[in-house]
Structure 1
Amino acid sequence: MKQGTLNSRIVMLVVLAAVLISIGVSAFSSLRELYPTVLAYTYTSDDSVEATGFLVRQESVLAGQGGTVEILPEEGEKVSLGETVALLYQSDAGLAQRETLQQLILERDQLEYALDQTGGSGDSAQLSDRVADAIADLRGAAATGDLTGLESQTMNLKSLIYKRSYTFDAEGEDSTAALQAALDDVNAQITALTAQASQSTSRVTAAQSGIFSGLVDGYESLITPEMLETITPAQLKELSSQKPAEDTSAIGKLITNSTWYFACTLSEADAARLVEGRSITVRFSRDWSGEVDMTVERLGDAVDGQMVVVLSTDKFLSDTTLLRRQTVELVFDTISGIRLPKEALRVEQQTVTDSETGEESQVSVTGVYALVGQQAEFKPVSILAEEDNYILVTAADTSTTTAAKKALRAGDKIIISSGELYDGKVIE
């Protein structure tokens, strides 16, 4: 055989092998692309409707006139009958007196604590050691994040500093006597300053107990719990477009009833799903994030396909004092299952045998194909919910050992191809 002929055949064989490999790779790729997969995962779907409405409470506006207002309660804090809600200062001097008075009261507390702890040696060297130990204890607690004893540790350190200071200043005198003299002087200053401050400061007290809020938005008189018995969709719509006048004399308000309401308008179809006296979950997600179960207080008459819905609760009042007009979700039902694309769902014909008669019959079984190893495995499912682009399912009956082995689980690779599939088909 000539050398040229041999070389030509070798080249031809190499080219043929390359072509075959290319065809094989292409066929394998086509096979893989024919059976793409997605991961099954757990998902929770809400059957809900969005609603916009007003939070309604029994509210009493607090008024006061003064140059400077100091609000004492925190937002959402409980206020008792007769408790001072705000201090009104006629001038900046009154406010300065108030700040000085607060500092003197703090100093008095520290001196009284130091006097209560006067037992033990008054030797300055020992006191210095105790101050150092107290500082070390405080730093150690802060480093470990243990703040349970922060107040007592701080007061102890301040007490030791006071004792040490007065031990040095007394020049051999009794430090206890020096502390007492300092306390008497502070008490005298407090008495004098309190008398002065009373001339330029007035108080706003609570006429009844309630929850304090610093927000006065003008709706306090425009929509009240009493009005909810007769309010109409048109009135609620009118309230949404109103801009209440500002009350310049208001310094805050008291919410005097623990029950609060949410009034909104729903379509007849959505409102028909509610039953007076039953509860529904209301989900807030904008100015406040939280869920609260509310009772359906009233379903109004239908007007032009719209109905007023009034809900009530006595939960989370202190958390919602700043809310008025809100858009929420009314959650009718919550469904949890495994989320899959719609195209993964298949209906297969299977032969079943009657356990009593032994007769065989064909039944339609809904399920999906999962990639298990290198094979397609049919897994029966029950549909829980169906949306535009996905379905929510759960594994079908798993009472038998065989069924349990084929049960759909989160994490399964689900085949979404429209190509031909059957149980046990080798995919790769």
Structure 2
Amino acid sequence: MAGYRRKSKKSGQYFAVGFAVFLLVYIGSQLWGFANIKLRTEQVLDDTIYDFVRAEATVFRSEEIIPQTTSGVTVYNYADGEEVAKNQQVAAVYQDKTVSMVNNQIEQLQQELESLSKAQTVKATRYSAVTNLSSQINDQAGKIVDFAADGVVEGIAEQKEEFVSLLNRKKIALGEEDTFAERITQLNSEIAYLQKAKQKEKGVSIDAPAAGYFCKEVDGYESILTSEALEDIDYAGYQQIVNQQPQATGNTVGKIVKTHVWYLGVDLENSQAQKFEIDDNVKIDFKFANGQTVAAKVVNIIPDDERKNSVIIFECKDITDQLLNVRKQSVDIIFTTYSGLRISSKALYHEQNIPGVYVLDKTTIRFKPIEIIKDNGNYILCEPRAGTDDQHTLNRLDMVITESGGIEMKDGVLLDEDTVKGVESSNASS
């Protein structure tokens, strides 16, 4: 019995010691955490956000295919997106493939000529341009790297041309080259010689059947997804058209898009479709066509019989070489744009039911009232509240307080220099 009491006493001692250690660790961690609480701020920046609907879109155009009537090597006179007149020669077909090689040589020489001619514009103030040119060269090199990393081939040739042009201009600016006049003269001579050689070969002319915009790519939807097909169409008719398979086209040189006006159709659930009305102006972001964004207008809304879905038809008027190759693609339809000052949601306070932020103004805390434009969850777009004096008006680059660090948040509070030195600051997070 005595042995049991001794064991019980020892167990109590162990428990007391263990509890004391736990208590010390707990209190120490709390004190350490409190000591590391700091005043944190974020810088106010301008920002713009969008309300948009993402959808699968179908493009409708008025187009006419250009058939290739003879076999051989096709040499084009126009690039995608260039405007041509009716009966104008858009291409020629040659029996000898050397003509195509000559044409490529002419194109390369013309690109070099254009690059050198642009470089010649750097004049007496050339040395002041070196820093700017170096920055542009670095940016351009970065673009080429991004294109290569993303596996994007289209457009990389143009990026390379601009890169070479900038390098040539820097040579002039640094005085490494006084002039490219001799090389320019030589290039003009070579181009003239090759053009004469090309003209000696007899080629079969391929003429434009209509006026419009030239495009090499033919996808088989030219007679299906037409602008005319959208006239007086119902929901079932639209579904039937967009689900048709492309038609065989045979040998073609390309096509003519006959007008700059074209249409985009999207099928949306009514919860999304109700965001649009006839004559609404929106922007369409073709994010997979080199980031092309075009203005568009809602011209028709076609509901289904059960009122569950609607097709929205947009009218567009922008023409580019990339857009001419788009037929079916995911797009973002941007219908509302919000711009304002961006602050973290953590910085928002309400004083007497007025929303605002506390700003660290040197060593003084100031409350600055705001009007909320858009609450996006993690951050807010806002503007200064009307009628506020200059001292309490929120401005770009103000340092708003996101964590108080235990300091009283009250307008006019003064901080000591040590506290201000310990402030951690950053830009507004996304």
TM-score w.r.t. length of structure 2: 0.63
Aligned length: 320
Report which of the two structures shows the higher radius of gyration computed on alpha carbons.
1
- d(CA) in 1 for partners of 2:338, 2:89: 49
User: CA distance change for structure 1 residues 313 and 240 in 2, over 3 Å: closer, same or farther?
Assistant: closer
Is the contact between residue 53 and residue 263 of structure 1 (CA under 8 Å) also seen in structure 2? yes
Is the contact between residue 232 and residue 308 of structure 1 (CA under 8 Å) also seen in structure 2? no
Shift of 1:97: 6.6
Is the contact between residue 63 and residue 257 of structure 2 (CA under 8 Å) also seen in structure 1? yes
Q: Secondary structure at the match of 2:71?
A: coil
Quick check: 1:55 aligned with 2:59? yes
- d(CA) in 2 for partners of 1:251, 1:382: 58
The aligned residue for residue 340 of structure 1 is 343
Is the contact between residue 233 and residue 265 of structure 1 (CA under 8 Å) also seen in structure 2? no
Q: Secondary structure at the match of 2:324?
A: coil
User: CA distance change for structure 1 residues 190 and 207 in 2, over 3 Å: closer, same or farther?
Assistant: closer
Shift of 1:273: 3.2
Q: Secondary structure at the match of 1:30?
A: helix
- d(CA) in 1 for partners of 2:207, 2:341: 57
- d(CA) in 2 for partners of 1:365, 1:142: 56
User: CA distance change for structure 1 residues 204 and 156 in 2, over 3 Å: closer, same or farther?
Assistant: closer
Shift of 1:85: 2.1
Shift of 1:253: 0.4
Q: Secondary structure at the match of 1:338?
A: strand
Q: Secondary structure at the match of 1:297?
A: strand
- d(CA) in 1 for partners of 2:334, 2:59: 18
2:250 to 238, 248, 263: 248
Quick check: 1:40 aligned with 2:44? yes
Q: Secondary structure at the match of 1:416?
A: strand
User: CA distance change for structure 1 residues 30 and 208 in 2, over 3 Å: closer, same or farther?
Assistant: same
One-letter identity of the residue aligned with 2:59: L
Q: Can you list the C-alpha shifts for 1:84-133, whole angstroms capped at 9, x where unaligned?
A: 222234x4xx3447878999xxxxxxxxxxxxxxxxxxxxxxxxxxxxxx
Identity %: 25
- d(CA) in 2 for partners of 1:36, 1:141: 47
User: CA distance change for structure 1 residues 85 and 381 in 2, over 3 Å: closer, same or farther?
Assistant: same
One-letter identity of the residue aligned with 1:72: N
- d(CA) in 1 for partners of 2:378, 2:104: 64
The aligned residue for residue 424 of structure 2 is none
- d(CA) in 1 for partners of 2:100, 2:382: 66
- d(CA) in 1 for partners of 2:97, 2:390: 75
- What are the equivalent positions in structure 2 for 1:257-406 lying under 5 Å apart? 257-303=259-305, 304-349=307-352, 364-397=353-386, 399=387, 403-406=389-392
- d(CA) in 1 for partners of 2:312, 2:271: 12
One-letter identity of the residue aligned with 1:205: D
Is the contact between residue 378 and residue 406 of structure 1 (CA under 8 Å) also seen in structure 2? yes
- d(CA) in 1 for partners of 2:351, 2:103: 84
User: CA distance change for structure 1 residues 96 and 32 in 2, over 3 Å: closer, same or farther?
Assistant: closer
Is the contact between residue 236 and residue 264 of structure 1 (CA under 8 Å) also seen in structure 2? no
- d(CA) in 1 for partners of 2:268, 2:400: 40
Is the contact between residue 384 and residue 394 of structure 1 (CA under 8 Å) also seen in structure 2? yes
1:424 to 382, 388, 412: 412
The aligned residue for residue 400 of structure 2 is 414
2:82 to 57, 67, 77: 77
Is the contact between residue 63 and residue 256 of structure 2 (CA under 8 Å) also seen in structure 1? yes
Is the contact between residue 295 and residue 317 of structure 2 (CA under 8 Å) also seen in structure 1? no
User: CA distance change for structure 1 residues 38 and 158 in 2, over 3 Å: closer, same or farther?
Assistant: closer
Is the contact between residue 221 and residue 247 of structure 2 (CA under 8 Å) also seen in structure 1? no
Is the contact between residue 42 and residue 410 of structure 1 (CA under 8 Å) also seen in structure 2? yes
- d(CA) in 2 for partners of 1:88, 1:309: 42
- d(CA) in 1 for partners of 2:324, 2:67: 18
Q: Can you list the C-alpha shifts for 1:145-193, whole angstroms capped at 9, x where unaligned?
A: 8xxx98998458977x9xxxxxxxxxxxxxxxxxxxxx9xx99x999x5
- d(CA) in 1 for partners of 2:36, 2:104: 77
TM-score w.r.t. length of structure 1: 0.63
Superposed CA RMSD in Å reads 4.0
5+ residue gaps, structure 1, are 1-22, 104-139, 162-182, 350-363
The aligned residue for residue 107 of structure 1 is none
Shift of 1:66: 0.8
